[in-house]
Amino acid sequence: MSGTVARIAVSAATYWLDRPYDYLVPPEFSDKALPGMRVYVPFSRGNRRTEGVILALAEHSSYERPLKPVLALLDAEPILTLEQLRLALFMRERFFCTVYDAIRAMLPVGLWFDDEGRRRASDKSVEMARLAIEPEEADALRDAKRMRSPGQAAILEQLCAFECLPSHDLLLHTGAKRQALKALEKAGAVELYHKEAFRRPQIHIGQTEPLPLLSSEQEKAFDGIEALAQADKAGAALLFGVTGSGKTSVYIHLIDRELRRGRAVILLVPEIALTPQMIQTFSSHFGDEVAVLHSSLSVGERYDEWKRVKTGSARVVIGTRSAVFAPTPSLGLIIIDEEQEETYKSENIPRYNARDVAKYRCARANCLLLLGSATPDVVSMHSAETGKYALFELQSRYNAQDLPAVEIVDMKRELRQGNSGSISSVLQRELETNIGRGEQSILFINRRGANRLISCGECGFVYKCPRCSVSLTYHSTNKRLLCHYCGYSRRPDECCPDCGGTLRYVGVGTQMVETELKELFPDAAVLRMDADSVAPAGSHEKILEQFRTEKVPILVGTQMVTKGLNFENVTLVGVISADQSLYAGSYRAGERSFSLMTQVVGRSGRGRKPGRAVIQTFTPENEIIIQAARQDYPAFYRSELELRRLQHTPPFSLLLSVTVSGMDEEHVYRACRMIRGRLDGLTKTLPNTEILGPAPLSVVKVNNRYRYRVMIHGAENTGLRATVAGVVMEFCQDKRFSDLAIYADNDPND
């Protein structure tokens, strides 16, 4: 068929039906339709009105039957560049998602339309007022109006002093009525017009500060990284620096150099809790050049920040995982701070890893990707050792202080001595010392709530979630049991519902630690930072600001407090339960535990005062705990790498998974068995390929859906991803499994 043809990614197309669909562009749209614009098109046999994005235009279609027409254009101009469209296609192949899923991840929520066809965020404008006559003439008119119309005279006086002012502010400061302003407009003395205004998150910007001075070690790292950045070719580098070594100062100098070259920079941080400090630090050097992108912003704020980036008004983008999609016109550098963090991997469709997206963007833009960490991902360090990445090291702290002195406390001994609480006698003594000195402490426990579970001491009854295969966690704030997976909650009984026995509160979380601290130190203020306390937008910023400005003695929290925070008065860190994450059902459990402990210990002694730390554990002989206490990353890396070699896990293999979930456990397992059999047959000729499973996930049931998984280990560049994608599509179209959800994932976190 001839004519202008648009190849369109359709939002209603499922993964197994996802491909570019050809539509006829009507003559009235032929001069307006461009790649990157959204449209409405009829889709499927019922011609359901569906949103789509134009991927390309062509003069002919190979489809023989008459094409359906494009119904409407939703954008006046393309909202996606050709590079972004290519990125969406890359994500489809890499992360087993549809093109439209990838596009949704790239764009702010404010750009999408609600059920009634209205955009979720509209452009904001402010009415401005300015003189429409010469200043001399305005002066004369002001004098003439002073007696009869003082409001008009005041308006003219203000506009003579300032070139233009927002109408609202002008009327507020002069006390004049709007009728006076409209009268001046009608007389031709004042012009009213509308100017685009941006909804900005609160950023405290004082006077611009000079760049921080670099130590000789930092200078050496900066020079090496800068040489790579100036090469104008794709590359990657790893900045491995001990906690407190001043990696941020190196970032600031690199960003300044890129801005001077007229290029933009994206800086990713793993937690929203880190953005306030990062924003404050970087805005003090780069002012309005800084844009912020993360999920705690309002819909309007995020949309306006996205617009500032797209137009080049803001060239330094700071944000969490999704900020990797920032539409920077001229990208010069992407920095991923704390690059080992699992939060860079999305657990929702599309299940992308920000690091992989950053690699692709840097390769396309011929620029540098910089990964920074005190505890690099084992795969990243292996890439640096084998020459894929350049390696730069910062081996000493910027303040010339030693790393914190760490004491490991055996909690079994504490129990034998009659201490059944969560705070050991050693940690209690150190906290007392810190409070007496007016110094601050951070305590880390990676579980929110008060108690891990409530059980009966006589019959062993435990409260379980009726929808998930987990125990309910007790929260003392509202005195309810809560499931952290589906949100189910209930009140506990006064006695065991099975036998009437006495219920025991077992295990501890952040709320219990907070309660215990207040009992031990009634005169000392305690702050808590976890998913419960920071639920309202901006709460994390308020907590950290209160901790800093009011010098609150103790901050207790989950992994939100383990990384990136820089408080000079913090001289003590306590790890309440070092064993919690060591035995999770993942090959990364050891790496995550080492990283968390090392990172949180590194929050201590970042100022002029020496730091110290206490790690509480029931397994003090564990090698990972000993290595974390010594801050010995090289020793951990060597032992972990050898374990990965034996396990045939990354970096020694590509790791993919196919997960099946459904209401009937037997049906889910049977589908997994069939997928395993199909993969076995298709991968026989692929080298070094191993299929494992099916096996249940660590939490097998979530919200009444059972979850089983098949794991695939293999080599890169063997077509294994395409094979797995084909199997997923095949089973998704099988009517026997229409009640199941089947999806593939690249290097799953759990």
Would you say residue 35 has pLDDT above 90?
yes
| Structure tokens belonging to residue 346 | 């999305």
Q: State the average pLDDT over residues 14-39.
A: 93
pTM above the 0.85 mark? yes
CATH number at residue 22: 3.40.1440.60
Put residue 587 in one of left, alpha, beta given phi > 0 → left and psi -120 to 50 → alpha. Answer: alpha
- In-domain check, residue 201: no
Q: How far apart are CA 615 and CA 624, in angstroms?
A: 12
Angle, nearest 10°, between helix axes 378-385 and 633-647?
Answer: 100
Q: Are residues 238 and 378 in the same domain?
A: yes
Higher pLDDT, 278 or 516: 516
pLDDT of residue 115: 67
Range scoring the smallest mean pLDDT among 146-160, 209-223, 268-282, 307-321: 268-282
Q: Are residues 231 and 284 in the same domain?
A: yes
pLDDT of residue 373: 94
The residue type of 139 is D
Q: Which residues pair with 710 in a beta bridge?
A: 658
pLDDT of residue 202: 65
Q: Please state, as a whole number, how many other Cβ atoms lie within 10 Å of the Cβ of residue 525.
A: 15
CATH number at residue 662: 3.30.70.600
Helix H or strand E segment including 28: none
Q: Are residues 620 and 734 in the same domain?
A: no
| Structure tokens belonging to residue 479 | 């005195």
Average pLDDT, the chain: 90
Nearest to 547 by CA among 620, 482, 603: 603
- In-domain check, residue 488: no
Q: How far apart are CA 146 and CA 142, in angstroms?
A: 6
- In-domain check, residue 681: yes
Local confidence band at 1 (pLDDT 50, 70, 90 cut-offs): very low
Q: Are residues 348 and 307 in the same domain?
A: yes
Return the top range by mean pLDDT from 52-61, 274-283, 391-400, 474-483.
52-61
Q: How far apart are CA 4 and CA 663, in angstroms?
A: 47
Instruction: Write out pLDDT tens, residues 231-245.
Output: 989 999 999 998 888
Q: How far apart are CA 85 and CA 87, in angstroms?
A: 5
- In-domain check, residue 676: yes
Q: Tell me the C-alpha to C-alpha distance, in Å, between residue 482 and each of 451, 477, 493, 707.
A: 11, 12, 14, 21
Q: Are residues 551 and 582 in the same domain?
A: yes
Note whether 578 and 446 are within 8 A (CB).
no
Note whether 487 and 550 are within 8 A (CB).
no
Instruction: Write out pLDDT tens, residues 368-425.
Output: 999 999 999 999 999 999 999 999 999 888 767 788 999 999 999 998 999 988 999 9
What totals of helices (H) and strands (E) does the chain contain, helices first? 21, 30
Count of domains for the chain: 5
Q: Are residues 150 and 189 in the same domain?
A: yes
Q: How far apart are CA 172 and CA 174, in angstroms?
A: 6
pLDDT of residue 33: 93
DSSP assignments along 636-684, one per residue: HHHHHHHHHHHHT-TTSSEEEEEEEEES-HHHHHHHHHHHHHHHHHHTT
Q: How far apart are CA 491 and CA 479, in angstroms?
A: 7
Would you say residue 199 has pLDDT above 80?
no
Range scoring the smallest mean pLDDT among 49-63, 272-286, 689-703: 272-286
pLDDT of residue 243: 86
Local confidence band at 556 (pLDDT 50, 70, 90 cut-offs): very high
Q: Are residues 281 and 425 in the same domain?
A: no
Instruction: Write out pLDDT tens, residues 103-146.
Output: 999 998 888 877 666 777 777 778 888 998 888 888 888 888 88
Q: How far apart are CA 535 and CA 658, in angstroms?
A: 33
Handedness of CA 422, 426, 427, 428 (dihedral sign): positive
Q: Are residues 370 and 303 in the same domain?
A: yes
Q: Are residues 106 and 25 in the same domain?
A: yes
pLDDT of residue 3: 67
Nearest to 556 by CA among 579, 569, 568, 572: 572
Cα-Cα-Cα-Cα torsion 422, 427, 432, 438, nearest 10 degrees, comes to: -110
Q: Are residues 300 and 192 in the same domain?
A: no
Q: For the chain, give the percent of residues with pLDDT over 70.
A: 97
User: Residue 350: is the preceding peptide bond cis (ω within 30°)?
Assistant: yes
Note whether 26 and 69 are within 8 A (CB).
yes
- In-domain check, residue 208: no
Return the top range by mean pLDDT from 53-67, 168-182, 658-672.
658-672
Note whether 369 and 354 are within 8 A (CB).
no
pLDDT of residue 205: 61
- In-domain check, residue 517: yes
Q: Which residues pair with 52 in a beta bridge?
A: 10, 39
**Which of these three, 53, 79, 111, is where a domain ends?**
111
| Structure tokens belonging to residue 328 | 């920077």
Q: How far apart are CA 162 and CA 100, in angstroms?
A: 48
Q: Please state, as a whole number, how many other Cβ atoms lie within 10 Å of the Cβ of residue 407.
A: 15
Note whether 643 and 591 are within 8 A (CB).
no
Note whether 242 and 397 are within 8 A (CB).
yes
**Which of these three, 196, 225, 254, is where a domain ends?**
196
Instruction: Write out pLDDT tens, residues 656-681.
Output: 999 999 999 999 999 999 999 999 99
Instruction: Write out pLDDT tens, residues 469-511.
Output: 999 988 887 889 999 899 999 999 989 998 888 888 887 888 8
- In-domain check, residue 220: yes
Nearest to 545 by CA among 205, 280, 209, 248: 280
Q: How far apart are CA 586 and CA 348, in angstroms?
A: 19
- In-domain check, residue 532: yes
Domain, as residue range, for 730 = 654-746
Q: Are residues 255 and 374 in the same domain?
A: yes
CATH number at residue 631: 3.40.50.300
3-state secondary structure (DSSP) of residue 6: strand
**Which of these three, 643, 665, 686, is where a domain ends?**
643
Would you say residue 13 has pLDDT above 60?
yes
| Structure tokens belonging to residue 699 | 């939490």
Q: Are residues 683 and 564 in the same domain?
A: no
Q: How far apart are CA 263 and CA 328, in angstroms?
A: 9
